[in-house]
Structure 1
Amino acid sequence: MAHPPIARDTASLTKLITEILGEELRDVFFQAFRGRILYIPKRVFLDHPIVQVIGIESAQKLQAEFGGQQLMISVQSAAERAARNKKIWADRETMSLQALAQKYELSVRHICKILKDMKADNENICDKCVA
């Protein structure tokens, strides 16, 4: 039976997992499973990959909250994404959209979205981006 991914945005999922695991284990957990859709079993066993990464007690805490569900683990944390976006913002003056996309391994469309999201005071900072 297929389990749909859990419907939580990355920030709220990160916050909840931090509350459950603490910051240190949260980082270990996200590093181990980033970029994956991860099924949290209803019952965890010692040989489960989650247990091997964060230990049985922490895995049982995740199981109590998310058991039987899938989590979409982001490739980047919110902090990593924010830092990357600041670098893109700084590079926008000296690099083309194509060069930015290549440097940050994103599509030109995604670069435009980032720049549009970061623009301040309705200033048109991304003349290169077409709606």
Structure 2
Amino acid sequence: TGVVIEGHTYSAIELCRSENGCLLRVLRGDVKESVQRGQVVPVSGALSEAEEVILAEKKLDTTEIAVTIKVTDARQVQYGVAAGGENTPLGAAQPITRATWTGARLGVYARGGTEADTADIAVFAVKF
């Protein structure tokens, strides 16, 4: 499960399970196609086949975490993890790009896993 800043180039912070335990990851992906008026249209300047790249990874000894997302005036997003009253950045700041719609979108997602997997999001807060 994760939180994404979504545009033609997107980035996200996600909690996932692996054979090595729970991992917190920052990733980036590029969209190659979009749907406009019901038609699939290539996105000019796409960097890849929408393959995601893991930019940073941290092994966790807990499945209860607080993640932070700071958007800068330079249109970049810095992901982090909050623990013990401190926020630790995870990976480098990522650019925010617009998409087919105006601007970028903030979203929460879940993917993969099994029917038995769950994600409980206790608080989702946005501060301006």
What TM-score does the superposition give when structure 2 sets the normalisation length?
0.26
* Largest Rg, 1 or 2: 1
Per the normalisation by structure 1, the TM-score is: 0.26
Higher share in strand: 2
Structure with greater proportional helix content:
1
